[in-house]
Structure 1
């Protein structure tokens, strides 16, 4: 049976949910590179980080804070640590007003795997006025991946479209068994 993979994202339709701010350093300062957590490689930051609740609501087990940075409850983090220890970095984060432990989930693998023929992609062109972006993905919809490129990875970001967090079917099943709130899955 072929392995299945899913884009894991924030279920923004979850009723009365909270919304989190972008993580800050343990001293409360903004990071110079705000998207470093989504580049598909380990980051060099010292935790615990700080996250504010921008909009009060139900705490979730999986949330994307500012810039789509995954913030996970310790019960979700334990699944990633057990099933994909080579694929993730978990950084402690204090979420304002929460006694429970949360962590920033960093996918540490970047894999060139987007199936451009099976996905709906649009590339930046020189006509878009951003010559440094020409030839790179401007959008990727209905993403499909070349599973042969993934190897043994269970968590990764696709090269060129790092905004997507991809997890294996095994990770999805474990999260669903655990009843993780806030997670949405779309097969890729």
Structure 2
């Protein structure tokens, strides 16, 4: 009896996850008078490799990271810098802690020009192979004739991204394998961020 009950509970959990909606996170570029964060730099003013923040792994960063602000304006609690890396206010960190998502993200402290409050790069720690090619508007793959043998078989472009919920499991924030420029969150996270009135953030269902 207990085995049957466990199986029923497992199937129910799987069904609930399959019904979960997922959303691409991006910032609202139309906020009047908003700020814009530029490329992060080190203490010498040299640009920092931003791709490392898209790889879905914990990072050990040496030395402070600084974000110039051009043009200056209203600070938003969620912002994508000029290379698309999410920079968030400490309120976002506190929210993720309350949601129990500390194992899914790493918050890397940064300095933002003109700001005294703590700010962080939101570095998600998961990459999941979940793109639903059939439901996307268009997917293009690197081909042998593209003369990039290191990329053959990988995504070259994805328009109208859609994901397959059954391949995501219990993850609440991740980047989709093959299209790491996108940050995806579950409806659970979206609802919580909206309830918290985090400024600057927008969502589009995927």
TM-aligned CA deviation for residue 46 of structure 1: 3.5
Instruction: Kindly tell me the number of residue pairs found equivalent between the two proteins.
Output: 187
Do 2:128 and 2:177's aligned partners in 1 also have CA atoms closer than 8 Å? Answer: yes
SS of residue in 2 equivalent to 1:20:
coil
- Residue 26 of structure 2 corresponds to residue 9 of structure 1: yes
- Residue 14 of structure 2 corresponds to residue 23 of structure 1: no
- Residue 155 of structure 2 corresponds to residue 111 of structure 1: no
Q: For 2:82 and 2:55, locate their aligned partners in 1 and report how far apart those are by CA, in whole Å.
A: 15
TM-aligned CA deviation for residue 88 of structure 1: 0.2
Do 1:79 and 1:171's aligned partners in 2 also have CA atoms closer than 8 Å? Answer: no
The alignment yields a C-alpha RMSD, in angstroms, of: 1.7
TM-aligned CA deviation for residue 148 of structure 1: 1.3
Name the stretch that deviates more: 36-45 or 106-115.
Answer: 36-45
TM-aligned CA deviation for residue 27 of structure 1: 5.6
After TM superposition, where is structure 1 displaced by more than 6 Å over at least 4 residues in a row?
A: none
Name the stretch that deviates more: 158-167 or 44-53.
Answer: 44-53
TM-aligned CA deviation for residue 47 of structure 1: 5.6
State the TM-score, normalizing by the size of structure 2: 0.84
Which consecutive residues of structure 1, in runs of 5 or more, have no partner in the other structure?
A: none
Aligned to 1:39: 55
Aligned to 1:91: 108
Which consecutive residues of structure 2, in runs of 5 or more, have no partner in the other structure?
A: 1-15
State the TM-score, normalizing by the size of structure 1: 0.91
- Superposed CA offset, 1:92-151 (max 9, x none): 111110122211100100111101111121112234443433322121111111111111
TM-aligned CA deviation for residue 19 of structure 1: 0.7
SS of residue in 1 equivalent to 2:139:
strand
Aligned to 2:9: none
SS of residue in 1 equivalent to 2:135:
coil
Do 2:38 and 2:82's aligned partners in 1 also have CA atoms closer than 8 Å? Answer: yes
Structure that is richer in strand per residue: 1
Q: For 1:129 and 1:184, locate their aligned partners in 2 and report how far apart those are by CA, in whole Å.
A: 37
Residue in structure 1 matching 2:70, options 51, 54, 65: 54
Do 2:50 and 2:85's aligned partners in 1 also have CA atoms closer than 8 Å? Answer: no
Structure that is richer in helix per residue: 2
